[in-house]
Chain A
Amino acid sequence: EVQLVDSGGGLVQPGGSLRLSCATSGFIFTNSWMTWVRQAPGKGLQWVASINPDGSDKYYVDSVKGRFTISRDNAKNSLYLQMKGLRVEETAVYYCGDNDLGWGQGTLVTVSS
């Protein structure tokens, strides 16, 4: 069974940083593209970033380029999202996973002063 456990969310001030983690099991992580999406309160799903299986290719939504970094540790079957320069409008539940795999339970990031 595919398991994806997101963690690392919390309250952060505008301009602050946060690192999200996603622990995975139940599938061959080293063969899988992985993705972060987010959902602001009452809004739809928004793709944030994706990374290929060996970590050599990374893709980002325009609004986070230069501030967010997606990475993975294939030895630990884990995915990460380093977020810097956070904005109030980036308050959302962040989900790890992929549309070909499934999604974790999400972790809430609140950006507020």
Chain B
Amino acid sequence: QAGLTQPPSVSKGLGQTATLTCTGNSNNVGNQGAVWLQQNQGHPPKILSDRDNNRPSGISERVSASRSGNTVSLTITGLQPEDETDYYCSAWDTNIGAWLFGGGTRLTVL
């Protein structure tokens, strides 16, 4: 099962805005939306945004998600040192009956 496409790395300065992207197709991202996950080294993944682009309780207002066609984006404003970690997108594929994951984006805050 092929995965979703994410850039391996993104670098932005402290206080700046980072936008991470994730591309799938009409069988997954395009009709199901995608979840964004944040994962710090040695910890389980944490949901930042659900399939409807809503933030779960406790997630910073600096985080927002959106979708355009088969691509979803995660935007983090006012970058802080603690934002430097790995981010994954994931979407259910209705054609093959599977959760697909992107390869992950490592966000570096300079």
Binding site for B on A (CB under 8 A): 35, 37, 44-47, 50, 59, 61-62, 95, 97, 99-100, 102-106
Contacts and interface: CB of A to CB of B under 8 A. Distances in A.
Given A45-B37, A103-B44, A59 B51 contact: no
Contacts of B50: 100
Contacts of A103: 44-46
B98 A45 contact: no
B97 A104 contact: no
A99 B97 CA distance: 14
Interface centre among B90, B98, B102 (most CB of A within 10 A): B98
A47 B35 contact: no
Given A45-B88, A100-B35, A100-B50, A105 B97 contact: no
B40 to A, nearest CB: 13
**For this complex, into which size category does the number of interface residues on chain B fall?**
20 to 34
A61 B98 contact: yes
B104 interface: yes
Q: Is the interface of B mostly helix, strand, loop or mixed?
A: strand
Interface in B40-60: 44-47, 50-51
B101 A47 contact: yes
Contacts, number: 50
B44 A104 contact: yes
A44 B99 contact: no
Interface string B80-102: 00000000101010000111111
Nearest to B104: A44
Given A44-B101, A47-B101, A99 B44 contact: no
B101 A95 contact: no
B88 A44 contact: yes
B64 to A, nearest CB: 18
A99 B104 contact: no
Contacts of B101: 37, 44-47
A72 B37 CA distance: 25
A99 B98 contact: no
A47 B44 contact: no
A57 B50 CA distance: 23
